[in-house]
């Protein structure tokens, strides 16, 4: 009985307890290193082209800081809720973990909604499109690639929750949820640099 009970207990780091978990963990960190370079290429292009407005609207005229601030708060809070989910994972509270991941996904959806509203606003009110200037191309490619990552993250966690809801927590499901949390934090890291380099520096001129 005792040993059975001990076996249902998870080890301290269930996401890295099996060889598969270890490999996924390491591989995912390397993938994030590669993603960093992908975004760096887009940031570099953006910084080079941010004044190439082709006579159209400029960053200073276009951006509205309140909207960006709300979007930032949404994403930052979702990063905290996925930390709570990771802590629930490590202490073997499956339902609590799922709850926090649901909150994370909803905050991500809110962020995505704001971004869609923002892009729509820029295109229809200001004529700022991906084709209107080199700056427009750089802007939509950089911010859009980040938005695509948010969309990918929401889809990922939705599928993970649906697929594993009845499985519960074990050494097979723990790495899957842990890696999603890492990915979500990475999305927030990229956003920190987007709101700084694109929006705040755009307002400074």
Residues at the interface with other proteins (CB under 8 A) = 2-3, 6, 9, 12-13, 16, 25-26, 29-30, 32-37, 39-41, 43-45, 47-49, 65, 69, 72-73, 76, 79-80, 82-84, 86-87, 90-91, 182, 185-186, 188-189, 192-193, 195-197, 200-201, 203-205
CB of 166 to other proteins, least distance (A): 27
CB of 142 to other proteins, least distance (A): 12
Closest CB to other proteins among residues 37, 162 = 37
User: Is 34 exposed, middle or buried (CB count within 10 Å of its CB: 0-12, 13-18, 19+)?
Assistant: exposed
CB of 155 to other proteins, least distance (A): 21
Closest CB to other proteins among residues 9, 166 = 9
CB of 17 to other proteins, least distance (A): 11
Closest CB to other proteins among residues 122, 178 = 178
CB of 127 to other proteins, least distance (A): 24
Measured distance CA(178)–CA(129) in Å, rounded: 37
Neighbour tally for 21: CB within 10 Å: 20
Of the candidates 25, 3, 20, 5, the one whose C-alpha atom is nearest the C-alpha of residue 171 is 20
Query: CB within 8 A of 122, min separation 6: which ones?
Result: 62, 128, 129
The CA–CA distances, whole Å, from 44 to 87, 136, 144 equal: 36, 14, 15
Tokens of 60: 């200073």
Closest CB to other proteins among residues 36, 120 = 36
């Amino acid at each position: 009985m005792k040993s059975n009970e001990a076996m249902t207990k998870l080890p301290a780091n269930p996401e890295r307890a099996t060889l598969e978990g270890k490999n996924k963990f390491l591989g995912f960190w390397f993938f994030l290193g590669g993603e960093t370079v992908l975004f760096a290429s887009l940031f570099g292009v953006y910084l080079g082209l941010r004044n190439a407005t082709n006579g159209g609207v400029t960053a200073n005229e276009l951006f509205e800081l309140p909207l960006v601030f709300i979007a930032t708060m949404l994403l930052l809070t979702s990063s905290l809720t996925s930390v709570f989910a990771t802590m629930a994972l490590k202490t073997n509270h499956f339902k609590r973990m799922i709850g926090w991941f649901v909150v994370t996904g909803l905050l991500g959806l809110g962020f995505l909604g704001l971004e869609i509203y923002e892009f729509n606003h820029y295109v229809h009110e200001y004529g700022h499109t991906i084709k209107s200037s080199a700056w427009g191309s750089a802007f939509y490619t950089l911010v859009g690639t980040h938005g695509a990552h948010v969309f990918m993250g929401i889809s990922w966690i939705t599928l993970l929750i649906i697929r594993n809801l009845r499985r519960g927590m074990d050494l097979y499901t723990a790495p899957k949820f842990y890696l999603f949390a890492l990915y979500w934090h990475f999305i927030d890291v990229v956003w920190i640099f987007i709101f700084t380099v694109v929006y705040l520096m755009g307002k400074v001129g």
